[in-house]
Amino acid sequence: MLAILIIADHFGNVFGDQWPFTSGWCWWGGTSVACFFFMSGYGLAVSYLKAPVAYLSTFFSKRFSRLLPPFVLLTVVAIGLRIWLLHESGTDILSGFIHGHPPLWTSWFIFALLYYYVAFYLSCRLMRQPLRAGIMLVALTLLYMICVRRLGWGGYWYSSIMAANVGYFVAVYSRAVDKAISQKARLVLPLLAVSLIVAALAAAYRREYFQPLLTLALPAVVYAVIVTRHVRWPRLLVWIGGFSYEVYLAQGLLAGLIPYLTPAVAVVLFPVGSVMLAYLLHRFDGMPFLHRLRA
């Protein structure tokens, strides 16, 4: 669902003027990415707490071998398309990258995630205690946010990454958090709902300043709902969720090409093409020769 909402966000960014009802979709991208960050921080913490030493010893090999192959492949394809189809020079592409626009459109998220992985590893390796590691992780995340803001890169580079730390601390204190949410749902859920509304209103007023509040509030609300409500997801969404990372990469490739299409064509080609390309990437990523290469 998050991957589909990100596709809708990028569609609204391109065609909001021609189809005004899609302009509101532009709010879905940052909040959806925040949920992705939340899940990343949560998953890292859960895996680390199970076996700290063993997990850190193979951390980079396992994480990067999963993250990098499809990302590198589509980055190379994107560079080729920008040179051949869009007639951009290598200097143009490099200059754009320096100013916060990676060769593969919308792939800033991958670079931010790679940074977070390194920050997580350093924090856990140096602090060796979950709370202290989390504090250092927050400090390194703030450092990242300050740096990319000073560089003048887009607000999307930093507005949602702090949600990963929320996921980290929720995982570290999951028993206490889940117990509080379950036993005091009538109090916790309304408070979270109010915080979400306030954050949304603040972000609508001054997005460049208050968007991080919204991207912190939404994942917390989603987590609380999941803890207190049993949700049965449609099989199609469950299937797409199995390769949602590849969907994000694939839509990034197509996002750079849809401005050259009409909205009526893009509204079909963009989501369907993204899912189909992502599925092929997912199958490619599971081929035996890649497993041997990683080993």
**Torsional sign, CA 61, 131, 158, 11:** positive
Check: CB of residue 105 under 8 Å from CB of residue 252: yes
Question: 182 by DSSP, 3-state: which?
Answer: helix
Check: CB of residue 123 under 8 Å from CB of residue 141: no
Closest by CA position to 161, among listed 153, 255, 53, 124: 153
Give the pLDDT confidence score for residue 289 in this predicted structure.
46
How many CA atoms lie within 13 Å of 177's alpha carbon, on the beta-carbon side? 17
Q: What is the mean pLDDT of residues 76-84?
A: 95
Among 1-5, 21-25, 160-164, 183-187, the minimum mean pLDDT is found in 183-187
More confident residue, 48 or 184: 48
Model pLDDT for residues 125-168, shown as the tens digit of each residue: 999 899 999 999 999 999 999 999 999 999 999 999 999 999 99
Closest by CA position to 68, among listed 121, 117, 125: 117
Give residue 230's pLDDT band: very low, low, confident or very high (50, 70, 90): confident
Closest by CA position to 109, among listed 69, 67, 151: 67
Give the pLDDT confidence score for residue 286 in this predicted structure.
57
Among 154-163, 227-236, 271-280, the minimum mean pLDDT is found in 227-236
User: What percentage of the chain carries pLDDT values higher than 90?
Assistant: 77
Evaluate if residue 242 carries a pLDDT over 70: yes
Out of 181-195, 199-213, 242-256, the most confident range is: 242-256
Check: CB of residue 211 under 8 Å from CB of residue 250: no
